[in-house]
Structure 1
Amino acid sequence: MAGRVALVTGGSGGIGRAVSQALATCGARVVSADISIKDSVETAPGIEYVALDVTTRSDVRRCVDDIIRRYERLDILVNVAGVVSTGSAEQIQEEEWDRVIDINLKGTFLCCQAVMAHMRSQGFGRIVNLGSVIGKNGGNPRPWLDPREQDRASNVAYGVSKAGVHIMTAFLAKELANSGVTVNAVAPGPVASAMTTNFPQSLKDLIPVGRMGAADEVASAVVFLASPHTAFITGETLDVNGGIWCD
């Protein structure tokens, strides 16, 4: 990926950091963006850190335009920025629903929309969105067995936001298919991170490979789909879930 320029949103999180580092290791120049740049983020060769609010169209456009102005290209967009939400559908508040949809779904769309014209004009682009197994399987918890599982695992707002990312990926893939631009998604299962520290052991025990995933494993799938060698793969949602859901 030498000479390629990549934008990774949600770059301060576990998966975002792993994706940024993996792309940089492959030779890409990486702009790692997040709502705030954490002091704990370590600098790394080939990676720069910028602030970005993905829910604000003007901020997204500013970030994308600045990258293109400075580097004269933007080849790869990886939409990692997202938040988790837990609890039952009966108890979720409207404000929480809006927060999750705004960041996970609207934010992903705004970033995709901002790069489409540029990638189309340069005749090359790779967009990789982060979906989730929760957007496919109706949720991991089994409240009919143990209601406490629902209190500590992703809820309907999160699932709806990620299902939206999956179908958005398919729509955009078709719109850009004849432009040299591919649009794919990666749908992780439970991944060990700061967002999943309270994930119930009873649900961990259901993962066929016997453990939670690692951020580096998700990053490897992203790098594959961002590769210049995957021009014939578009509209795909690639499962990385240890066998917890197969389709």
Structure 2
Amino acid sequence: MSKVNFHQTFPPTLEYLSRLLEITDMNDALSKEEISEITGIPTGKSSGKVEPHIDYAIYMGLVENISNQSGKYKLKRTKLGNIIMREDLGLREEVTQLLCHIRLTSPSTGAFLWKLLIRGILPNYPDGIRFLLLEDELKKQPVFATKKAVNMGPFFTTYEISFETFSLISRSKEILKIVAQNFKNELLYVYAYALLYEWEQIFPQYDEITADQLLTLKFAAAFGIADTVAYSILEKLFEKSIIRINGQLSPFTIIKNASSDAMIEKAYSLLC
């Protein structure tokens, strides 16, 4: 998708994403006005929330638009979308919101600003970054270079309101900081999904990668943790035979024994 700044106007509303999931696998391609009429998501001639939420749903890995007609949408649920619709249509569980966050910030397939901030800039400032410096960091990107300012409001609303089950960012008047997430055993398959999805995108031809290649996946950054801390999660995945760790080599290597699709199937299985 070419709309780099689609999220600059509205944050994602979980209810609207849920309504889009309910009308997927449609037989006919529909206009944004027709989708608005069916779902109740507001839209207009030059603005509105239908198209931004379709973009959010695509970036979150929930749906695909398989229409080849300009201005028309024929939405099809992905495997992730099918499972979330079955397990948590309202998108209220932490598992669900983390899965959406992982895809939204994917270095390979995520939305530009989201992956830039969560997987790129913020991990470089574990003690927080001043907003004046953050503005300079953003201006290094050609797409933002000529802008007076980048509207961060929808980004803040997402992590402070929409994704309310986990607190990934904190901010004061001057500083934005990413918050390291504590390990939770019930999220084990979510961690595995984050690792394997990116692995399959960046190194699809490899079943074994080195520690250096692991760093390029930016797996730890999805959870606000240091790469050294992430190793303890890898050990948990090893105990579940999701991966194997070959520590006899230097640097160590990791061998995958499962697919990201298999992890989606198990994502909700450890919830009480």
Q: Which bracket does the TM-score occupy, shorter chain normalised?
A: under 0.3
Structure number with larger C-alpha Rg:
2
More strand by share: 1
When normalised by structure 1's length, the TM-score is: 0.25
- Bigger relative contact order, structure 1 or 2 (CA pairs below 8 A, ≥6 apart): 1
Which structure has more helix as a fraction of its residues? 2
